[in-house]
Structure 1
Amino acid sequence: EANVQVVLRCRPLSVEEQKANVQSAVSCNDTKREVTVLNSLFKQADKTFTFDTVFGPKSQQRAIYDHAVAPIVDDVLEGYNCTVFAFGQTGTGKTYTMEGEMMQQVGELPTSAGVMPRAVRHIFDILEAQKADYSMKVTFLELYNEEITDLLASEDQSRFLEDRHKRPTLSLMEDGKGGSVIRGLEEIVVYSPGEIYSLLQHGSTRRRTADTALNMQSR
């Protein structure tokens, strides 16, 4: 039985939005776990929605991780299959929340580090504290316009990524155990958080983004 938690984070106004004197379209009440969409500009009644957890514009990366993600990582290390799924319009802060800044500074993660680098550090800290015997592999893929791209594929495989006719085809298949597997996806063995950070940064540079009107507004 799946246990689904819906967490909502509202980003602050950007510098450009503040300069343009843009008014916030939402109001967050972290304690009541409510978000109100302010429709006064459209002469409509405000609408309030309740979630499992709400993080307002002043929320910090560490608080997001500690309260919403750390318990999930603990479950993963107990053997459960878990997923953190970030959903939202362009410019709402998904990449910042999930990735943030991943480079280590004097052995410590920067305050802007997002979910992925924090989860990596969390997993290694627990495994090392338990003196566990383990092996770890990393995969990194992109699903874009219903096409799967391996973001960690070797250079000779990925140099044709922009040519859809020459791009290596990856197929999503059932594994016979109620799960799924992507045949041909590169798996890289890693031994430290730093190796994973490097792979995440390398893979992120290969991602593609659609240029939409929302992109233009969010820049």
Structure 2
Amino acid sequence: MEGEQSAEHLCWEEDPMTGIVPRSVALLFETLESMDCEFSMRVSYLELYNKELVDLVGITGCDSKIRIYEDASRKGSVVIHGLEDMVVRNTHEVDDIKNRGSQKRQTASTKLNARSSRSIAVFTIMTHLKESYTWLI
């Protein structure tokens, strides 16, 4: 999902090791910037490990509890209380947050993988659009 960076330090478009998340984020920014609208983007990164939820990029201390529950007012909607999201302005900021969060994830070595994940992680991108309208009179 994340991919790796090749030894040649190519840009993401030319790097065959780039994962689907960096490619998707770059395409999302490219598409939004080409539209006639204002937009803002926020990201969060959550880990579930040993039945505990961990905010991988939040600024607050590790001792703050994150809770997940179903929103009774909206059927099928889930609320994660205590999870911070961060404003991002470009692909580099998203990549930096994703990398910092990935370093905090619980990993261990296996026979097949030197850095195998021991958890479930959810990287969320929230985009808000404000379309511009031109009225002709």
TM-score, normalised by the number of residues in structure 2: 0.70
Query: Which residue number corresponds to residue 4 of structure 1?
Result: none
| 2:3 equivalent among 88, 100, 109 | 100
What 5-or-longer segments of structure 1 have no aligned partner? 1-97, 159-166
Alignment of 1:164-203 (within 5 A): 167-175=63-71, 176-177=73-74, 178-203=76-101
RMSD: 2.3
1:1-219 aligned at under 5 Å gives the runs 98-101=1-4, 105-106=10-11, 108=13, 110-154=15-59, 157-158=61-62, 167-175=63-71, 176-177=73-74, 178-210=76-108, 215-219=110-114
Instruction: Kindly indicate which of the two structures has a greater share of residues assigned to strand.
Output: 2
Higher relative contact order (CA 8 A, sep 6+): 2
Q: Hey, what's the Cα distance between the residues in 1 that align with 2:5 and 2:81?
A: 28
- C-alpha displacement of 1:107: 7.1
Name the count of aligned residue pairs: 110
SS at match of 2:107: coil
In structure 1, what residue type is equivalent to 2:15?
Answer: P
Question: Hey, what's the Cα distance between the residues in 2 that align with 1:105 and 1:129?
Answer: 24
CA–CA distance in structure 2, aligned partners of residues 217 and 196 of structure 1: 29
After superposition, the Cα gap between the structure-2 partners of 1:217 and 1:194, relative to the gap in structure 1 and judged at 3 Å, is closer
In the aligned structure 2, how far is the partner of 1:151 from the partner of 1:168? 12
CA distance in 1, matches of 2:112, 2:39: 46
Of Structure 1 and Structure 2, the greater helix share is in 1
Matches of 1:198 and 1:105 in 2, distance apart?
16
Q: TM-score, normalised by structure 1?
A: 0.45
Unaligned runs of 5+ in 2: 115-137
Please identify the structure whose Cα radius of gyration is greater.
1
